[in-house]
Chain A
């Protein structure tokens, strides 16, 4: 056995870490003593998604390193230590912390640094770069005392930084030296559209500006001046004027570097010293720096193979610089020969200025092949188009069809089946179609998360996920695994189809529906789904005998089950408005029954810890005090939150509380595919947060703006404006239509936002249906809503007046004892369920 050789990796960024991962994956790690220097204070993290740090991701979320990776694979990592010299004579590496380690081979993966132009005043406080987690921490700290921020540089990263400043609440400017934004990726015509879109979002763009000085006061930035004599006041500046390779180690050890920087490498990623490799953004191949992660990963692969003398070793021969991103919510993609530099290349351009869409295809001279393109405003075709370029797939006879979205829901271009096995699906991680399909087949994968885990496809920029999803669907189909939208094994129909059958055939019970259209006995999926459809069509009491067994426990006992099997009670407080007497009544009832009380996120009060046998007694008192069911237990309207509005607030322009109450009373008890939430704000300050609701209303000077399909919760989404300046009657008419349309067509447990995202034609289509009545169903929709409004009953009031229903509220059918397993402890002057450990203790002390 030969002694292990030392391999030192300098830099633990995205590419350096990928290299080490590959060494392990290719089972070569044990042939070497692996050592790596990591200048930053944390191990490799996902720089590509750096900005998500501002939207709540933590450093931990961004980490690329599996816990234990370095220990388990015996890789010595020096965190927070920088390599300061490569002594090629002695074959050692020296570090800032004073180490000196001999090497046999070295891999330099030092990345790049943000270039800061030599502008007078550039070092005063308030100036930043945008590259590391530390940079972002510093920016967000400093921004707390700022109003305005400027990004110098209107390229890809600059716009990303601008987005971050905007999200930090700053008035944001972008200053670009070139005459247009993203000069490398986008042409002039596209630049105009992009600029308009971004300015519409409130970011101010200044092109053809050359900064001459950064002026400070008390050491802090106050403004910048330009060579054309103009100036711009600002509190904070982020430089994003390009990157420069970190080649200082190479320079100092006399390795060959490019004229404008970068460590020169060959096809094997070897530098001018064959014992030394360079990969990632510090490397220069054929006079080019590759500022994207995918080429870096490719270099890591090549270097790994070369170092291990692998016979399958590939070579690095340049890489694709295609990019797709969402900048400030605007889709931008640029791929292949985007500027039509190939001799004879032709262009097809599609511009839709009102909607801010620009698309360009670059075709080969014979128009048979796609060479490249630019997409702005709608980049949904990116994945497909890129496949055309990369796999030289012959174009269809009318390539312009690829530019204009099909109206009838037909998918464009190539079916995923026709792609060659070697087609690269995920360019970030170089994963091919074959690789993904094999993984799906061999490991029996059935969802995207497991494909990501298994193949890494989709874990970079995420741009390939739609293609991966198509692959998954087609593989499952081939394997005979049915991919259908059936409600469950008992009904071979989608919810929408079932809803239609139930209405058209006037079906009033689950059993009838099962008999006619289903099989088996039903389950916890179809039963509540059908119960909801029945309720939103016929509106019978959900505790009536044929319906009661269909309900989830919450609906069955008209209360929300808690972790210990007790329930919570939430009376309706329309619009959040409540009288002192009612507040006192709630307090008294909570006291009488020993309930934990809390103000909910929905502007009302929740009483927790009610035993099932206590529920009717609590409700008897609540009904007497004038309360009714709040339907917190149902997939139904929850609350219509309000702000105080024009009655008290000095800015209010309409009575938002009044409207909120009216809407809540109109739609109370409305059963729907999922819960429904709403809010009404009295002016544009939006204190009721109406734009995060399934339907939200904001008062204007002239009436009401109505927004639909927003969502808080797990995946927040802004609502979209359906119509503006409506009078109240029209508003209610539109809402009636909208709600019933949603109820009829959504999938089970699909909130309006998710439903909307799948709705072909988006908001325009919705407007056609709801406002212009393009389907001719509006009268029917309104009638159904009116029926539901007219047949509303307080479920609790009916229940407590019905002896038979009341009997069901007991823990034991043969004893009046409550559940003996419920044990509580006191915390902050109220009760809470005991933890398992506390329960054990109480059992012991009672013995």
Chain B
């Protein structure tokens, strides 16, 4: 089991999203959880997953799950597909604009299923 950071202490419930194989290696998908759009990324070919908001504050569109993932100086990140700002997958911080940060969510893989934690 691999789990992304930061995990909120307050997770009370893990919600099933999809099976891991539904996410192509090194791509993202978008999940609808309690009315929220959450982008989930699968990094590499194994069970490494991360979740951040799907909302791109620069283009004001819900598209981040469709961005290209990679790293900048070792920081895992996704580039928005619209205007290419980068967001850390770990902290949600925008790497191109200090004043912007988007929410991150707890996410894990359990027996081949992807789950998002809510409080």
Task: Give CA–CA (A808, B30) in the complex, Å.
Answer: 11
A534 to chain B, nearest CB (A): 15
Mark A432-457 against chain B: 1 for CB-CB distance below 8 A, else 0: 00000000000000000000000000
Q: Is the CB of A563 within 8 A of B68?
A: no
The one of B63, B68, B77 in contact with A550, judged by C-beta atoms closer than 8 angstroms, is: B68
Q: How large is the interface on A (under 10, 10 to 19, 20 to 34, 35 or more residues)?
A: 35 or more
Task: Give CA–CA (A551, B23) in the complex, Å.
Answer: 15
The one of B59, B61, B66 in contact with A556, judged by C-beta atoms closer than 8 angstroms, is: B66
Of A90-98, A128-136, A517-525, the segment with at least 4 beta carbons within 8 Å of chain B is: A517-525
Q: Is the CB of A521 within 8 A of B66?
A: no
In the complex, chain A residues whose CB is within 8 Å of the CB of B76: 521
In the complex, chain A residues whose CB is within 8 Å of the CB of B27: 548-549, 556
Task: Give CA–CA (A489, B60) in the complex, Å.
Answer: 29
Given contacts A814-B16, A836-B60, 8 further A-B contacts (CB under 8 A): A520-B70, A549-B26, A553-B66, A556-B27, A561-B81, A813-B23, A813-B31, A814-B17
Among residues 527 to 578 in chain A, which have CB atoms less than 8 Å away from a CB atom of chain B? 527-528, 545-546, 548-553, 556-557, 561, 563-565
Q: Is the CB of B22 within 8 A of A524?
A: no
B9 to chain A, nearest CB (A): 25
In the complex, chain B residues whose CB is within 8 Å of the CB of A522: 70-71
Q: Is the CB of B32 within 8 A of A817?
A: yes
Is B94's beta carbon under 8 Å from chain A?
no
Q: How large is the interface on B (under 10, 10 to 19, 20 to 34, 35 or more residues)?
A: 35 or more
In the complex formed, the residue of A with least CB distance to B114 is A813
Q: Is the CB of A489 within 8 A of B62?
A: no
* Binding site secondary structure of chain B: strand
Mark A701-732 against chain B: 1 for CB-CB distance below 8 A, else 0: 00000000000000000000000000000000
Q: Is the CB of B61 within 8 A of A564?
A: yes
In the complex, chain A residues whose CB is within 8 Å of the CB of B26: 549-550
Is B107's beta carbon under 8 Å from chain A?
no
In the complex, chain B residues whose CB is within 8 Å of the CB of A813: 17-18, 22-23, 29-31, 40
Q: Is the CB of A561 within 8 A of B71?
A: no
Mark B18-58 against chain A: 1 for CB-CB distance below 8 A, else 0: 10001111110111110001001001000000000000000
In the complex formed, the residue of B with least CB distance to A612 is B66
Mark B66-79 against chain A: 1 for CB-CB distance below 8 A, else 0: 11111111101101
In the complex, chain B residues whose CB is within 8 Å of the CB of A166: none
Is B93's beta carbon under 8 Å from chain A?
no
In the complex, chain B residues whose CB is within 8 Å of the CB of A821: 37, 61-62
Task: Give CA–CA (A817, B32) in the complex, Å.
Answer: 9
In the complex, chain B residues whose CB is within 8 Å of the CB of A819: 37, 62
Q: Is the CB of A812 within 8 A of B31?
A: yes
Q: Is the CB of A552 within 8 A of B31?
A: no
Task: Give CA–CA (A528, B70) in the complex, Å.
Answer: 12
In the complex, chain A residues whose CB is within 8 Å of the CB of B40: 813
Listed A/B pairs (17) with beta-carbon separation below 8 Å: A490-B70, A520-B71, A521-B43, A521-B71, A522-B70, A522-B71, A523-B70, A524-B86, A526-B70, A549-B27, A550-B68, A551-B68, A563-B82, A565-B63, A811-B62, A814-B32, A821-B62
